[in-house]
Structure 1
Amino acid sequence: MRALAEFIMRGRMQAIVVVAGCAALPMLFWLSAAAGSLVLLRRGLNDALGVLVWAVLPALVWWYFGDPRTLLVLLGSFGLALLLRNQSSWSRVMLCSVGLGLLYAWALGMVFGEPIAALATELQKVLPDMLSDAYQQLSVDEQARLGALLAPVLTGLLAGLLQITTLLSLMLGRYWQALLYNPGGFGLEFRSLRFSALPAMVLLMGMLLGPSLGVQVAMLAPLCSVPLVFAGIALVHGLVAKNRMSRFWLVGLYVTLVLFMQLIYPLLAVVAIVDSLFDFRGRASRDDDAGPANGEG
């Protein structure tokens, strides 16, 4: 990864080759977004614009052929990278990713509205078998409302996946920047990610009350969960680093997250909410040797 980052930052032509080539290849748009984010984070918008436009061109071609994901993730990553460069606040980046997820949901609904509706219809047919007695205890109106929520929630889940991809691409770009110019800086930044009580409660309300506020607002539930889960992961990283614990705990976290997603994912969100109230990491002194991840502090 370091060799690729060094190649990207070697010159404008090398950066264009990576961002344009990865954007043109199937399933590598995340790497193009990370490379473009690295250039933008290090060089700024004016210097990076001549590189980023070459990533957008193949993304527009993908959209023309019916796949908007490449363009959405690229533009989303670049926008959040610009915000991170200007404000150096991961909590604000995470909060803004919710709005970005809403834009993703709108675009996905425009392009994939019919397939999502068809999938929701098929899911509605199997709901009685999936929920068993619980479904039978619902009234006719409640069953109809549950069926109406399927399409927005599915759209929100797809948008949430793109939201996660966007954030991971940005993190990879920020990690590359720290690796080249200030090793250890990204770890310090990420481990300090924490929401104060008010934003955490707003995200919680979006998760819990979204489906009850309206059919279209239901897509807020998966989108609001993403920042909290990242904050929960950052908390675990912070506690492991502060207490000088073995990396085995981090490996275990990611293994269980993959194997038991339905259990660990909401648990991380809950832990992040509790941390916003009690601050488990405390006011630990910062490592003066690391500094900001951009290497310019």
Structure 2
Amino acid sequence: MKNPSRAIGAAAVTALIPVLSLFSSAIVALVWLRMGPAQGAKVLLAAAIPGVYYWLSASSPDVLLAVIGAAVLAEILRNNQGWGRALLVGTLAAALVAITVKWLDDDLQTQIIGVLLDQVDLVERYDLNTFDQQQLAITLGWLFNGVITAVQLLMLIASLLLARWWQSVLYNPGGFQFEFHAIRLPLWSSVCLPLVLILVASGQTWLLSAVPVLLVPHLIAGIALVHGVFAIKKYNSFWLGLLYVLLFLAQPYMSLLLVLIALADSLIDIRHRLAPPPSTPPSLKKDDDDGEA
């Protein structure tokens, strides 16, 4: 942050190494949050060069999309539009990518689906004919596309959280904790996920790619809600550690539970209901002779 050329170099180098691309997006977001679009655009341009290289050479636009997405979401936070809007903008963009961009080539996708079908023995168990197998393969392909996009969205949000935490440590100690505990999605967003599930169940299976993506903001909001409730109730941090252990060991079930909690929070504002009532100042007692002549 003291030297713009160091930020540019760090963003470019970390973007070149796929496993470090999260830090490249975080550096772009940090500079954008603190110094604005003028300086942030320079760092974004440096980080985008490796992203363009991977896109052209390996048909992998994920690095480029990550650094651009980090800049866009950082601009939303910089304008004080809140984490809820940043999460939803990122989710809507990622859902569009999941529906329109195919991450796996046909041969690789066919191999993965074939191995999966052999492992669970679906063809023999349910006596699937050729047409049913083709439809199942198409459905699984959409689901895989959505899962891959959801993972990339999680990485993007993680980079933004990291950048905001860096900014808080450097310039506003304690500010990140307050922001993270207050993350809550608006009421209208709680309708989108059930609506898409209804459309998928009614035969619009092409929307299946969007389902894993739509789970991501609710998962983040659910984790933030648990942190906020623990802070309000002053629970031991051991239980937070246990939450992450369970999230790792029982991932599908815990993720679903956190998503459901986030949906409920959008409706009833759990933090507001659990927060202690504001303390009232003691009433002033009037003297017995107050008001007498």
Shorter chain as normaliser: what TM range? Answer: 0.7 to 0.9
Change (3 A) 1:63 1:281: same
Which position in structure 2 is the counterpart of 1:153? 143
Q: Does residue 79 of structure 2 align to residue 59 of structure 1?
A: no
Amino acid at match of 2:56: Y
The 10-residue stretch of structure 1 (144-153 or 257-266) with the greater mean CA deviation from structure 2: 144-153
Q: Does residue 168 of structure 2 align to residue 175 of structure 1?
A: no
Contact 1:207 1:224 in 2 (8 A): no
Task: Kindly report structure 1 stretches of 4+ aligned residues shifted beyond 6 Å.
Answer: 138-143
Which position in structure 1 is the counterpart of 2:187? 197
Alpha-carbon deviation of 1:18? 1.0
Q: Does residue 225 of structure 2 align to residue 232 of structure 1?
A: no
Percentage of pairs with the same residue: 32
Helix, strand or coil at the partner of 2:18: coil
Separation of aligned partners in 2, 1:31 and 1:60:
17
Amino acid at match of 1:226: V
Helix, strand or coil at the partner of 2:179: helix
Helix, strand or coil at the partner of 1:112: coil
Which position in structure 2 is the counterpart of 1:269? 259
Deviations 1:259-295, CA, capped at 9 Å, x for gaps: 111111111101111122222111648xxxxxxxxxx
Q: 1:15 aligns with which of 4, 7, 30?
A: 7
Change (3 A) 1:227 1:106: same
Q: Does residue 93 of structure 2 align to residue 100 of structure 1?
A: yes
Contact 2:30 2:164 in 1 (8 A): yes
Change (3 A) 1:203 1:17: same
Contact 2:44 2:68 in 1 (8 A): no
Q: What TM-score do you get using the length of structure 1 for normalisation?
A: 0.83
List alignment gaps of at least 5 residues for structure 1. Answer: 1-8, 286-297
Q: State which structure, 1 or 2, has the greater radius of gyration over its C-alpha atoms.
A: 2
Separation of aligned partners in 1, 2:120 and 2:43:
52
Q: 2:242 aligns with which of 239, 242, 252?
A: 252
Deviations 1:148-182, CA, capped at 9 Å, x for gaps: 31101100100000010001001100111111111
Amino acid at match of 2:221: A
Q: 1:80 aligns with which of 70, 73, 81?
A: 73
RMSD: 2.7
Contact 2:117 2:123 in 1 (8 A): no
Q: 2:40 aligns with which of 21, 35, 48?
A: 48
Helix, strand or coil at the partner of 1:65: helix
Aligned residue pairs, count: 276
Separation of aligned partners in 1, 2:233 and 2:159:
29
Contact 1:207 1:222 in 2 (8 A): no
Amino acid at match of 1:72: L
Contact 1:160 1:222 in 2 (8 A): yes
Q: 1:126 aligns with which of 111, 118, 141?
A: 118
Amino acid at match of 2:261: V
Separation of aligned partners in 2, 1:131 and 1:208:
27
> Could you say which structure has the greater relative contact order, defined with CA pairs below 8 angstroms and 6 or more residues apart?
1
Contact 2:190 2:263 in 1 (8 A): yes
Q: 2:152 aligns with which of 143, 162, 170?
A: 162
Alpha-carbon deviation of 1:74? 1.2
List alignment gaps of at least 5 residues for structure 2. Answer: 277-293
